[in-house]
Amino acid sequence: MTNVMKDLHRDHRNFGKVLAMLTEKLAILKGGEKTPNFALMLDAVDYLEKYADLYHHPKEDIVYSFHLKHSNVARDTIDMLMREHQDLKGITVQLRQAIDGILHGDILLKDRFIEQLAVFIKQQQNHLDTEEASIFPLLEKDLNADDWARIEKIMPTRNDPLFGDRLEKQYATLYERII
Ligand SMILES: [Fe+2]
Ligand SMILES: [Fe+2]
């Protein structure tokens, strides 16, 4: 497997861990007996906003655009995934703002928040699953070594602030809870 694809797969595994943590918090909320740790949820969503939306998705967009330029195979799905990158960015900002509000004293409209969190987790997970199940295998099959060399040249590199070599202070508690 190419380095680019290895990195993207690894990101997906990591996002899966973050989504699993949020799913636990969702269950706590639904249970109604305990209050979930909203500060931890904020860190998780903040991480997705800063790393997935600003770095992981743009990297995928580079690979997807390259594929679209050279092939018509799965064009509709790839177009959809690229649109979803924009949609995910939107729902991530909205969720971060909602959690931030709760932490700053906004009244928690519980049913509405549960719905918002559930939809967020589902859309994120569906997106990852579609990429893993149908598009990543296609990319690995269709693109050759030359293609990957050209793609790698224009790929940005950034340390993953949560799961990378250097853990950013801001995410230290989140890291401890997840690992
Ligand atoms: Fe994606
Ligand atoms: Fe992805």
C-beta neighbour count of 174 within 10 angstroms? 23
Query: Per-residue pLDDT for 122 more than 90?
Result: yes
Average pLDDT for the chain: 96
CATH code for the domain of 152: 1.20.120.520
Query: Per-residue pLDDT for 108 more than 90?
Result: no
d(CA 128, CA 111): 26
Q: Residue 46's domain spans which residues?
A: 3-178
State in Å: Cα 33 to ligand 1 middle.
35
- Give tens-digit pLDDT for 21-72: 999 999 999 999 999 999 999 999 999 999 999 999 999 999 999 999 999 9
- Give tens-digit pLDDT for 83-99: 999 999 999 999 999 99
Tell me how far apart the terminal alpha carbons of the chain are, to the nearest angstrom. 26
Q: Which residues contact 117 (CB under 8 A, 6 or more apart)?
A: 22, 25, 26, 29, 95
**b/e map of 34-72 (b: 16 or more CB within 10 Å)?**
eebbbebbbbbbbbbbbbbbebbbebbebbbebbeeeee
State in Å: Cα 150 to ligand 2 middle.
20
Residue 115 is predicted with a pLDDT of 98
Find the ligand nearest to 89 CA: 1
pTM of the model: 0.95
State in Å: Cα 62 to ligand 2 middle.
12
Burial of 22 (0-12, 13-18, 19+ CB in 10 A): buried
Average pLDDT of the residues in 2-7:
94
Query: Per-residue pLDDT for 1 more than 90?
Result: no
Residue 38 is predicted with a pLDDT of 97
Count the domains in the chain: 1
